Every structure is written in C-alpha cells, then in structure tokens.
Structure 1
Amino acid sequence: MLIREASADDWPAIWPFFHHIVAAGETFTYPVDLGEAQGREWWILPPPNRTVVAVDDAGTVLGTAKMNNNQWGNGSHVASASYMVDPAYSGRGVGRALCAYTLDWARAAGFRAMQFNAVVETNTPAVALYRSLGFEVVGTVPRGFRHPAKGYVGLYIMHRAL
C-alpha cells in the first residue's frame, strides 16, 4: 500500500465511498445530504494542510485522510485529521496506515499533539484503533451525535501528545 498526496484526479474514486459513508450518517458530523462539490471542498484541503490517498499496487484508492491544524492562533500547535476507508477494503489495515501517516506528518510539521474533536462513541472500530495508537478520550459531549439507528450518542474528544 502506498500513501500519497491526493490529486484532483483522485476525487472521482474518493466520492463514491465518501458519499456512502456520509449519507449513512453513522460516523461523521457532515450533513447526510452533502453534495459532491461541497464534499470535495471540505475534504480536499489546500496547503499547508494535506489530503492523501492510500492506493494498492494497481492504483486503486482504498481510503483517504485529511490533516490540518485543529485550531488557529495560540492553538495552532495541535493537529487534527479525519479518515475514510472504502468499506470494500475495511479490516485490511488501511485506516491504521492512514492514521500512522498523519501522526508522522504532524510530528514532522512541528505539531505538539493531535486531537480529534468528534469521534462518535459507537464507532467502536475507530475508537479501538485510535486507542491502540496512543489516543485517549479526554472528554465526551453527551448525546452530541444523532445516530440514525442508536439515537443520541456521545461524541468523544480524543487526544494524543506527539
């Protein structure tokens, strides 16, 4: 698996699984009816932030990550990132590779920590992955997410020093 900078040519491969994940409404705080143009604008970030794709040997996009500063000004030393893996390739280490990549990027860019602001508590695979990579839940927004099947559930704020 190769992780590389995302290009405009990658968006047509990202959009189908991006749309599927967002429309399911189970893991992201994006509007479930998010359109393609708005989705692209929110996901494909301009420098100094980054968006990457994980591809296999044939060049198939398996997943994607975006990474950026979490806050501005005096909080700009904390990074953040988001990940989407094509469900057809889940359970194959794509998410772990993308998360490790973003941690390396954040360290190299001089960030002192990484924070995720809205990890849905019922997204147990993601929570387990982040914990295995050293993230801790530092807070919970009670019933901060309206899950389509489970009702109102918590949103974790997860943090890791770099």
Structure 2
Amino acid sequence: MNAPVGLVIRPVTKADVAALVEIMLPVFRAGETYAIDPDITQEGAIAYWCSAEKTVFVAEARDHIMGSYYIRPNQGGGGAHVCNCGFVTAGAAQGKGVARAMLDHALATAKAQGYRAMQFNFVVASNQRAVAIWERAGFGIVGRLPGAFAHPKHGDVDALVMWKDLGVRP
C-alpha cells in the first residue's frame, strides 16, 4: 500500500504535542497494543513517548499528524547496537500506508545511525496488522511470550519478539 500523497516524516516539535496526544491516548486507552496503563494521563503519554533516550518523528500530510514513531537503543552497553522502535497511527490513517512509510523511515534512520539490527520486544500477537507489516518488511519472530499480554477483549494473548538484521557492520 502506498503512503498518502504528500506524507512527510520529520522530527517532532513542541508544536506537535497536542496532535500526538490525540493520536496516542485512544491507542493507549484501548489497551489492545501497548503494555501501558490505559488510564495514563496526557502528560504521562508525552513523557513516555518523548523521553530523553528516544528520537521521535511524526508523519504529516496536509498539515495533519497521521502517526508517530520513536527510535532508541534497545539496551545499553553491549546491546546498544540494536535499536527498538514504537509506532502509533491515527485511527483515520490506519490502513493507508502510514505505518509502512514510518517503518521504512525508521529502517533508514537506524542504518544511518549505525544500528546493526532492529528489535520489537513486545508485539501483541493479536495485533495482526502490525505483525503483517513487520513480517513483510523482513522481521522474523524470534521469541514468543505465552499469555504475556492481558488483552481487554481476547484475554491473555502471546507477545512476540520480532527482529531484523539491518546488514550494517562495524
């Protein structure tokens, strides 16, 4: 699927905070994809998403923020060569190629920053749209955590660890 015409992915600014909150809170409150307290405050959501160790980007088209992602080292020290990302897409933008465009940007950013792999630590298995996007991009399921996520509709579901080698060598 192609991204919306005119989609630009750029670093987040303070002016984007209100739009980020509008995108994140419904996702976090639904409790279906992130292991975050569904009662998180606006301030807590921004603090989580935009914490100091993360580099945050937004996907914007026609002056509307359609999604956001962050990239960060997955671990410190000997694990810092592997990055981790989080993605969130506005409800109205789902299924329109925004997540895939952000993933492509994240992969290019990760390579440019010298990361050698990208790892998703906790992909809720019932989030089939995300799992399919990551698998089409070459991510493999390298671990399964049985019943690790208490889904509000499906009960305990597995969480997946997904990984992709970026082909970058020191």
User: When the two structures are superposed, what TM-score results if normalisation uses the length of structure 2?
Assistant: 0.92
2:45 match: secondary structure: helix
The 10-residue stretch of structure 1 (8-17 or 78-87) with the greater mean CA deviation from structure 2 = 8-17
| Counterpart check, 1:17 vs 2:23 | yes
Moved over 4 A (4+): none
| Counterpart check, 1:31 vs 2:31 | no
- Aligned ranges 1:44-59 → 2 under 5 Å: 44-46=50-52, 49-56=54-61, 58-59=62-63
Paired position in structure 1 for 2:138: 134
Q: Deviations over 1:41-75 (max 9, x none)?
A: 1101436x31000000x211000001100000001
In the alignment, structure 1 segments of 5+ residues that lack a partner are: none
The whole-number CA distance in structure 1 between the counterparts of 2:135 and 2:115 is 19
| Counterpart check, 1:148 vs 2:152 | yes
1:30 match: secondary structure: coil
Q: Deviations over 1:72-104 (max 9, x none)?
A: 000100001010000111111000000111111
The whole-number CA distance in structure 2 between the counterparts of 1:37 and 1:55 is 22
| Counterpart check, 1:77 vs 2:74 | no
Q: 1:91 aligns with which of 89, 95, 104?
A: 95
Q: How many residues align?
A: 160
2:46 match: secondary structure: helix
Q: 2:126 aligns with which of 114, 122, 127?
A: 122
Paired position in structure 2 for 1:5: 11
In the alignment, structure 2 segments of 5+ residues that lack a partner are: 1-6
